[in-house]
Every structure is written in structure tokens, then in C-alpha cells.
Structure 1
Amino acid sequence: MNTQRPLAVVTGAGKRLGLTITQTLLENGWEILALVRTPSAALNALAASGQGVHIIQHDVADPAVWFDLWPSLRARFGRLPEALVHAASLFEHDTAASSNWAAIEAHRRINYDSFVAAASAWLQCADATQRGAFVALVDQKVLRLNPDHYAYTLSKLNLAASIPFLAQALAPQLRVNGVAPGLTLPSGGQTDADFHAAQAVFPLGAGLAPGDIANAVLFLLGQPWITGQLLAVDGGQHLQSDCDLVLRAPP
């Protein structure tokens, strides 16, 4: 009987949603390779606890790293990880009037290019019989467009559009899905009062939390017959008009 735990890479695992996803997968029997540029204190503590978290330091702003990283992980751990959760994200405010190519490229490389490179490189490293699952964190914003955060939104639109294509191109070995979170944590200078007021106007009301996003990721990793899907976990935020009552910030 094989008692080996499944192995998942989580990018951006040191904070916010990435940290919660790491903790949730760990609690549900996964061994985690936490891929970060700089480990947080919380991630270091989790790794030191001996529960099965290994910190891998790489910068996903260089998408080409994946073509060497998968083979090195396979050699180090004796197998190719079965899953990747791409929680790493660059989020900076700009507009069409203020953005520049450096900002557009920087957002694209982390938010989109890295996920596509990781999927392509995984397939090239995998044995013909191996099966895997990738989940990308997108944003409900791609389902309810508004023009703020110009470079960020462009990168997330690219990411969302790539999911069904990658699911087709990499089947049957790799399932590819996405989770589109709604407003889950305060960010972008948002006060706690603004955060709670923004959640209060969700169609389903306030209360969306990081654990809800992590549970959706866990579901998609464990469901073998779902691929090419973008699952909005947002309290219905994507159903609202683009005239927010209070300042909106992504998760």
C-alpha cells in the first residue's frame, strides 16, 4: 500500500491567500513545496514544525526557471510533484493613462507567464503515465470588468483565457483550472471599515474568508473529472455592477 502523501508546489506560499492554501493543503494530507522569493516568518515557522513543508526559494518573475526547476525537484524528492497552485501575484495600481510597458511586462511575467511556463515545463518533465493538476488564482474582476489596476487586470485576463486552452493542450496528463476570488483580505491601503463595507454589499453578504478560497483549491485538486474551469468564489461579487459603493481591492 502506497502511503506517500501527494506533493504540491504552492507559489506565493508565504503570505495572504498563498499561506492559507499551504496550511489547508497540509491539513488535508498534502506535502508542500512552498515556492517563494523570500520566506515569511509564518512560513518559516510552518516549515520548522516538521509537518511536511519544504521552502524552495526562486523568483517566479523569471518564467524560464520552471524548465530547470521541475527536473531538479524530481531529482530531489524522487518524483515529480502532482500539483501546482499559483498564488503568487503582482498587484500594483495604475491606469491606462499612467501605465508603461515595464509595469505591463512585470505583471504579466508573474501573474500569467509563470503559470504557462510551469504547465508546459511540467508536461515535458512528466512520464507518459503521470497525471497532475494545476490551479491558478485569477480574480473575479475578469468576470466583471472595470478599468482600474490596468496592468494587473490585463495579466489576469490573459491568465483566465489560457485556462481552457491549457486544459485542452495538456490533457489527459494535466488538469488545469482556476479560482477567481472575490474581496477576501484588505489590501491596497483599504481600511478595515472599507473592507467590511465592501463585503457587506455582496449578493451573499459579508464573510468571505481566505479559507473559502483554499477549500475551493482543495476541491479542484481532488476532483479528477474537472478541467478547464474558472470557479468564482466571491459571494456573488462578479454579479454586481462596476459602480462599487466603496473602494474595491482584489484579494
Structure 2
Amino acid sequence: MTTWALVTGAPKRIGRAIATQLHEDDYNIVIHYGQSVNEAQALCDELNTKRADSAIIMQADLADATALDKLVAQIETRALSLEVLINNASCFYPTPIGKSSFTKAQQLLATNLIAPYMLAEKLCPQLSANNGCVINLLDIHGKRPLKDHGLYSISKAALEMATLSLAQELAPNIRVNGVSPGAILWPEQSNMESQQAVLGAIPLAKLGQPEDIAKLISHLVSAPYITGQVIAVDGGRSAVGFMGA
């Protein structure tokens, strides 16, 4: 039986690379999207061209509890044999002191922390039946805060603890790990000066690629004795400390 992988935030950037890699690994893919319906459908069509009926799209605003429940219900209704959950979807924007709000805090924490935790909990029966795994996309700024992005950094730090907690709570039938990207793709608001500052702090002196994340996830999905681990993919940046965006 072909098993399925749910990748949240799959249509673009790192999510697209992860979905494509897992599809190459012979998983069928549930492509979750929030607003990027055109990109989601394009990826779905591409994967289905490679292997018929191997991808579907599902929409949900992960900051909305009702939408989250509907996403889970769709998977249950379709009786998908779910083996892998990749919590990739994330909100990222600045919340400098004096300019943040309760609404922004709710959106960041709900999308980046609560939704991944609740998806792992709610999809536990399907994942457990397949001795599956959960992989949470973290951020090196969950350990060292990014200036003017306090709420984002807090949400990723909390998701790292959630990853370790879930690894304990969902064992022995479900493995849970975290992947912590560094400079993989530049934020849309970054400038040349900030980019050069980041590159200067990376021992490997180069930007990473989405495929670097996807290849590690491919390995973790197929590694039956690895759980409760957080692995940084940052060119050595976190090993020596870092500055910049």
C-alpha cells in the first residue's frame, strides 16, 4: 500500500522542495496550502503527471481552529494511509516592540506552534498505525532571537520544545524530529547589506538551498531509530554564533 505524507505550506519555497523529494521517495503527497491555490494546483498537476493519483491539495488557515479540524477530517474521510507529517507552514514578519499586537501574536503562535502540535495530536491514530513520523520545521532563531522578530523567535523556540515533548509523548509508534534551517532563502525584506552580514557569519560562506532541507527530511523519514532530535542546516552558523538577519 502506498502511504501518504502531509506537507503543510507545500506550494512554494522549502515546502515545495520537501513535497517533491518525498514524492520521489514514493510517498503520495497531501499538498496543504493557505492562500497559494494556483501554486498548489500547479505542484499537484506536476506530481500527478509523474505518477497518477499521487497528489491532492487541501486548503486550511492553520491559525483557525475550525479550519484545522476540517483539514484533519478530510484526511480521515478519504481514509488516507498517512505515514508522514511535515509541519512546514509558518508565519514570518517583524513585530518590533511598540508595533506588535495581540492579533499578530495570536496568528504567529497559532500558525507556528499550536497548529503543528495539534496536527500531530489529531493525526496520531493514522500516524501510529503506520509507525510514522512527524518533522517540524524550526529555525536557528528559535535559539538566538532575530531582532524585531521577537514573537516569531518565541514561536519557533516553543515549537522546538513541542518537538521534544511530542517525541516523548508519541513514542514508541511515532517518531518526532525537528529540522532547523539557517540562511536557505533570503526573507523578502532583506537587503544586500544584511545578506552580506549573514554570509560573513557562515563558516561554509554560502547560502543553503531548499533541497538541503528536503534531503535531510528524506533521511529522517527513513531512519527508524532517530527521534527527539533537532538538526540545524545552516552551514555551521549556529556552531560559531551568528549576527544579522
Q: Same fold (TM over 0.5)?
A: yes
Q: Distance in 2 between matches of 1:39 and 1:188?
A: 16
Change (3 A) 1:64 1:112: farther
Matches of 1:61 and 1:196 in 2, distance apart?
34
Task: Name the CA distance, whole Å, in 1 between partners of 2:66 and 2:119.
Answer: 8
1:142 aligns with 2:142: yes
Q: Which amino acid aligns with 1:236?
A: G
Aligned partner of residue 123 in structure 2, secondary structure: helix
Deviates more, 1:61-70 or 1:225-234: 61-70
Deviation at 1:237, TM superposition (A): 1.6
For structure 1, the residue ranges without an aligned partner over 5 or more in a row are none
TM-score by length of 2: 0.88
Counterpart-to-counterpart distance in 1, 2:150 and 2:238: 18
Specify the alignment match of 2:171 in structure 1.
Answer: 171
2:121 aligned partner:
120
In 1, the alpha carbon distance for the partners of 2:137 and 2:206 equals 21
* Compared CA separation, residues 121 and 240, structure 1 to 2 (3 A): same
Give the distance between the partners of 2:163 and 2:72, measured in 1 at CA. Answer: 20
RMSD between superposed Cα atoms in Å: 2.2
2:184 is paired with a residue whose SS is: coil
Report the Cα offset of residue 65 of structure 1.
Answer: 4.3
1:239 corresponds to which letter in structure 2?
A
1:237-248 alignment to 2 at 5 Å? 237-244=237-244, 248=245
Measured against aligned partners, the alpha-carbon deviations of 1:186-221 in whole angstroms (never above 9, x if no partner) come to: 114124675366235301221411100111111111
The answer for unaligned runs of 5 or more in structure 2 is none
Mapped partners of 1:138, 1:170: distance in 2: 19
Letter in 2 for 1:72: Q
Q: 1:57: which partner in 2? A: 59
Q: CA deviation at 1:169?
A: 0.7
1:1-251 pair list within 5 angstroms: 4-49=1-46, 50=48, 51=51, 52-63=54-65, 65-76=67-78, 78-123=79-124, 125-126=125-126, 129-191=129-191, 194-195=194-195, 198-244=198-244, 248=245
Q: Contact 2:201/2:242 (CA < 8 Å) preserved in 1?
A: no
Give, in whole Å, the separation in 2 of the partners of 1:103 and 1:143.
21
Q: Does the 8 A contact of 2:7 with 2:30 survive in 1?
A: yes
Q: Deviations over 1:17-65 (max 9, x none)?
A: 1111111111221110011123343432221232322111111112454
Quick one: distance in 1 between partners of 2:134 and 2:142?
19
Matched-pair contact (CA < 8 Å) for 1:132–1:173: yes
Secondary structure of the 2:118 match is: helix
* Number of matched pairs: 240
Percent identical pairs in the alignment equals: 30
